[in-house]
Structure 1
Amino acid sequence: MFLKMIPTGLGMSTRTTFGDQTETSHTLYFTLQLAGQDSLELETGEVFQNPRYASVRRSKQNEISAHLNVRPASDERDPLHTNKMQYHAGVKGDDYASPPFIHFDVSVPASDYSLLLSNIQGGILPSKITVGLRHNLYDKGSPLAYDFAPDGSMMIWRNAPQEDRHVGIESAEFHYRVLGADHYDEDDAAPQTAKASIDAASAAIVAKLIDLEKALAKGGGLIVTVIVIACAALYFRGH
């Protein structure tokens, strides 16, 4: 299963530890949203999606944020806590509150990390990030599944059990828009609202009526009602 995501923010942290040997570690972190019309519905009630489609799905209040940490691979890091997608539940206290969020943690070879960092420092930022999640389509016990959408755009994460709140990451791809628009741009355009559709149809009918008025002024013997109905029927049949 692949999650195609758009970076909406970028940060970098550097941590230096002092001791017998001074060591410095680097981490890049991206804030993300899903690309296009894709959605990931969580069993705990949240939805990870493109905010532009939240009003269409009526799921604005249930949106969940996500971020991705990328760091160079290290032998000192526990492999059980790397290359995973994890769900973190929200917490509340008397004077603090933290909403739930999705965290992607990816460790890449040092050479790949250096290339990514160099590109960012040179002003070439990833336009899309695709994460491949470990998923067996035929395993009914898998925490990940596809919903009824035939194009695979609706996905489900059964994350209610604690043991299913983390999923292995098998791949991470960073896409760069070097020149022009990439093939996701059309999908990420804001969806047309019902009002916009009606306004467009009304404008088209008005334009047809103006043409008819001009024709009537010249012909004088046309039956207005029949022509208006015919034009409206032809327009909506073509749309």
Structure 2
Amino acid sequence: MRRRRLYEGKGKVLFEGPEPGTVVQYFKDDATAFNGEKTGTITGKGVLNNRISEFLLSRLNDVGIPTHFIRRLNMREQLVREVEIVPVEVVVRNVAAGSFAKRFGVEDGTPLPRAIVEWYYKSDALNDPLVTEEHITSFGWATPQDLDEMMQVALRVNDFLSGLFIGCGLRLVDFKLEFGRLWEDEDMRLVLADEISPDSCRLWDVESGERMDKDRFRKDLGGVEEAYQEVARRLGVLPEAGPTDIQGPTVMQ
């Protein structure tokens, strides 16, 4: 199949969709860390992230949290609604880890007294800097009303996913969300976009504390593919044939 490529990021390629207002997301096996300073390949990651993100976004749609997800097309592709991405990443933290622990001198793994929401400007060139609501509204990246809605949705997502993952023996340490503006005629609404997967979440085994996410790649812990497969297995979405590959579409010039 020949399709026009719209955008290629670190983990996905976006292609023109079959209908107006739709986009096809193709999940790659490419892995990056530290804003692209470390690169590699996690075999089968794209297949697993496609399945995991499909499952989680579908569950969020079911409980009334709107997302851009429409349906999975095949092993590596999803059909999603075309949105205008808000250039602000929302990070929700339940446990001190990663850059947060270093920034505040807190021991990695320290439970936080409540969920903490942080904002980051979505810019690879600037290494996605931490920003305040004043920065966001002053530069026009989002309105105060947008931020209120994004905050409320992020906390709802946290409550829902934390319970879902605990039921699978996983602790949701922190995660990143992206939002998009979905235009329908003259009306606009904010919806969850991008993906929710071990690429964008820190997931620790409740009993052992073992990392089950991209930190295994960041920290050279090994067993990266197995960790992603285990998350998919616990969610009940591991492909029966395993994370097999399919050919991507031919790009139109």
Superposition TM-score, scaled by structure 2 size: 0.26
Structure number with the bigger relative contact order (C-alpha 8 A, sep ≥ 6) is 2
Structure label with greater radius of gyration: 1
